[in-house]
Amino acid sequence: MARYNPKSVEPKWRDRWAADDVFRTVEDADKPKYYVLEMFPYPSGRIHIGHVRNYAMGDVIARYKRARGFSVLHPMGWDAFGMPAENAAMQTGRHPAELTYENIDEMRGQLKRMGLSIDWSRELATCDPDYYRHQQKLFLDFWKAGLVERRESAVNWDPVDQTVLANEQVIDGKGWRSGAVVERRKLSQWFFRITDMAEDLLAALDDGRLDGWPDNVRLMQRNWIGKSKGLTMRFAFAEDAAAPNGAKEVEIYTTRPDTLFGASFIVLAPDHPITQSYAERDPALQAFITECDKIGTSEEALEKAEKLGYELPLKAVHPFKEDCTLPVVVANFVLMQYGAGAIFGCPAGDQRDLDFARKYDLDVIPVVLPPDADPATFAIEDEAYVGPGTLFNSEFLNGLSVEDGIAAAISKIEEMGAGEATTNYRLRDWGVSRQRYWGCPIPIIHCDTCGVVPVPDDQLPVELPEVAASEFQTPGNPLDRAEAWKRVICPKCGREARRETDTLDTFVDSSWYFARFAAGVEDAPTDPAKADYWLPVDQYIGGVEHAILHLLYARFFTRAMKKTGHLSVDEPFANLFTQGMVVHETYKDENGEWVLPEDVELKDGAHIHAATGSAITVGPIEKMSKSKRNVVAPEEIAETYGADAARWFMLSDSPPERDVEWTDAGVAGAWKLINRIWETVEGAAGGLKDGDPDPSTSPDDATLSLRRATHAAIDGVTSDIEGFRFNKAIARLYEFLNLLRKSDGADIAAQLEALSALTRLIAPFTPHLAEECWALLTEEGRGLVCDAPWPVADPALLKQDLITLPVQVNGKRRSEITAAIDLDPKEIETLALDEPDVKKFVDGKSIKKVIVVPGRIVNIVVA
RNA sequence: GCCCCGCUGGCGGAAUUGGUAGACGCGCCGGAUUCAAAAUCCGGUUCCUCACGGAGUGUCCGUUCGAGUCGGACGCGGGGCACCA
């Protein structure tokens, strides 16, 4: 008996699939459609184990749905623009395009070797002008529809390299290459008005349109959009004073107007117009603002930064207490983008305000009394009280609940004409300008006479100019220096003008690729008829790290494409599955450089560099990422054990939604299994070929129990695949195989039925092995297992007539009874009380009650 | 800092609605086979205890006849935080 040899078997079947073109998408009117999509990869050059996990899951679904008779669309492409290629160009002196296409070729080969059932005829790369020309068209259509606007926005600026930095490139407030302290700088940039859609993006999370999404992702998106109802109100300045910009009052936004009587200061954002007007004549304030600008642009950095304040020579009048004036300060924890860019501080009810008040010695007036607290003694120490309670120290609000207090305060302020109830969103508009080369050019022309002019449709695409590879070794955006490309004739007035040199955020590229796969046509982004057929994506699968940004942007884009006539759905992904990440330890060498796991060796309990023998520091377990180099190449596994073993192993053990830490141990188990299946099928097939496949007779026990096991396996594996429980499907297959290997007594028909079912059940997981087995089991010319129908479980064989019930005494399991499945509870009780092991614990005590849960358990409660 | 998630044997994990904790796999131990090894096959494997029995799902508290599962507090780890993709 020949040992199974994936090296020859796997390529053989892949060639056959390719020759027969079996995975080409067919729009078959007689079949229901199914669009399964995994998040497309960034072409880093090598697939990593996380990709295998992602694409193996998608392939199980795709192959399963094919077998269930669906017309399946399962495409693949490349999220090919982005910083890594530009960084690599900086290091290697090679052009990003050259590097990227080389990487794509490499990775395409690796993915193909995984045996995925992909329709490669639909492959796309976002860096291809054939893709991004349509994206430019979409940008212009969005512009015409009023969904795009231009405005000032801050970026991280490296003053030494004279370049814009991504947040990832800012480490502890310093530029990653220059080490210079990063500043915030304002640039005129392009925005998509995603906030216009906030209400519908939010509503769809709860109205049933996204029932196929995990709850936690919907919750994260809901919190991200952050709808809040509150009060926008104005505080007049004391003594009729005015700020240098002429303002005589300041507008603030609050979600807690009930705490107005606890207000002890007003806070303005550093970039608030009033702040700015003071800064013009106050160098100390200017210095303070510069200091705030060094924090960077990420919300995390802003929130974690030490709370700093600067008092303005200004007092605000409390609207309810005319003799009470509040200091007006500038502080780094208030954001101009949110609400009005100004708040009132209520230290008793907000931890940040409290920290700030303690630091600057401002009043702390408690206004919410926790239930059961004594108003005479209740005081705020180090912790603000944010819970429910009764308002006090608050004049007309005294005695009201927080909720009622909010309503009462809003009506009072509205009555006074000092403000109005408003709805606010935490969500900000989507800034899409990037000062980089390797992205989709923004199809805009700047004319001194006409201003901003869109590039006419017939001049699309605006292609990236040829740029010498050496250009990437100079900091800054090469497009800025591409003078010949920048110079252009204004389409409106015919005078000399300049091209926009910013490119689009790569999130734009990935916000509509699913539509391009499904309905791409040469002369338009989509063909609406095709889009209607395929969209929405029936099953989208990808990493949970994309739970907010990518998925929210894709949802926005779909709405925008609908508004501009490119699509007619408004939600792109009917069902979403967020897989956990593959994580791994991180390693650094003595110079603090990241080291690949494959270069690390464990020697005498210490980690060393395999090549140099130098010491390695082991860092935290983190998601595998190119930047930290903690990636494992699946190629080696596939090389040694075959693609099937790699796929099987990635899907066994860990539940798909959970993070999995990669370890080398265990792959061999998958290899063992593949051999056991092969051996079982090959061994049996030889002796079984003459059997008549009529599995309806032979009632002897071995046959019946094998048939039951077969149908239980079909039923279980089917529901596990439907429910994305691949690890459990695999456990069931192991159980089934173990039983099958011990069922020599069963008749030939039942064995053949079992082998045939096993082969079809493993086909989505280990497709090459399944084809090889199928060829042995079936007559010549009966086709491929990837075209075979999914087995169907016979309900009659799933029924059980006996059941084992555990018997507990006072909640502890003492015995068990076996009874007919529909036995009367009274009789079960009698049976249970008769058990010797039960009597031992019951005798001599009084039975207080007996709980019989049919089909589950018996519990006897004794005193 | 804020939002979300996770925590069960030596390890990955399993456990419909609250109802036998540890399925299945890895590892380990023992045996068979072998000149020997690898591979393969068979058996065992939560911990404590000779046993009877007891303890046990990150920690503490609670609800319940019964809690891995529900509620509260806490701890640790991970993801996201708008220019990494």
Q: How many residues can be counted in chain A?
A: 863
By the 10 Å C-beta count (0-12 exposed, 13-18 middle, 19+ buried), A409 is classed as buried
Task: Check: CB of residue A566 under 8 Å from CB of residue A511.
Answer: no
pLDDT at A621 over 80: no
State residue A624's pLDDT score. Answer: 74
Distance separating alpha carbons of residues A800 and A294, to the nearest angstrom = 70
Q: Which nucleotide is nearest to A658 (CA to C1')?
A: B6
State residue A381's pLDDT score. Answer: 81
State residue A700's pLDDT score. Answer: 67
Structure tokens at A476: 């800054």
Q: Collect all residues with Cβ–Cβ distance below 8 Å to A11 and sequence separation of at least 6.
A: none
Task: Check: CB of residue A324 under 8 Å from CB of residue A237.
Answer: no
Q: Which nucleotide is nearest to A194 (CA to C1')?
A: B82
Q: Which residues pair with A705 in a beta bridge?
A: none
Distance A546 CA to B8 C1' (A): 29
* Residues A246, A252, A257, A261, Cα dihedral to 10°: -50
Looking at residues A275-290, what average pLDDT do you find?
94
Distance A69 CA to B74 C1' (A): 52
DSSP single-letter state for residue A537: B
Distance A813 CA to B49 C1' (A): 19
Backbone angles phi, psi at A690, to 5 degrees: -85, -15
CA A553, distance to chain mean position in Å, is: 12
Rg of chain A (C-alpha set): 33
Distance A811 CA to B64 C1' (A): 11
pLDDT tens by residue, A100-139: 999 999 999 999 999 999 999 999 999 999 999 999 999 9
State residue A127's pLDDT score. Answer: 98
Distance separating alpha carbons of residues A553 and A377, to the nearest angstrom = 51
Distance A730 CA to B33 C1' (A): 30
Distance A581 CA to B79 C1' (A): 9
pLDDT tens by residue, A683-722: 776 655 444 444 444 446 788 889 999 999 999 999 999 9
Q: Where are the beta strands (DSSP E) in A134-201?
A: 148-158, 163-165, 170-171, 174-175, 183-192
pLDDT at A592 over 80: no
Protein-covered nucleotides on strand B (Cβ within 7 A):
1-6, 11-15, 17, 19-21, 23-27, 39-42, 53-55, 65-67, 77-85
Distance separating alpha carbons of residues A521 and A523, to the nearest angstrom = 6
pLDDT tens by residue, A510-556: 999 999 999 989 999 999 999 999 999 999 999 999 999 999 999 99
Looking at residues A219-234, what average pLDDT do you find?
95
**ipTM of the complex as predicted:** 0.95
Distance separating alpha carbons of residues A597 and A58, to the nearest angstrom = 27
Distance separating alpha carbons of residues A852 and A850, to the nearest angstrom = 6
Residue nearest to nucleotide B21 (CA to C1'): A813
Residue nearest to nucleotide B23 (CA to C1'): A731
- Check whether the bond before A795 is cis (ω within 30° of 0): no
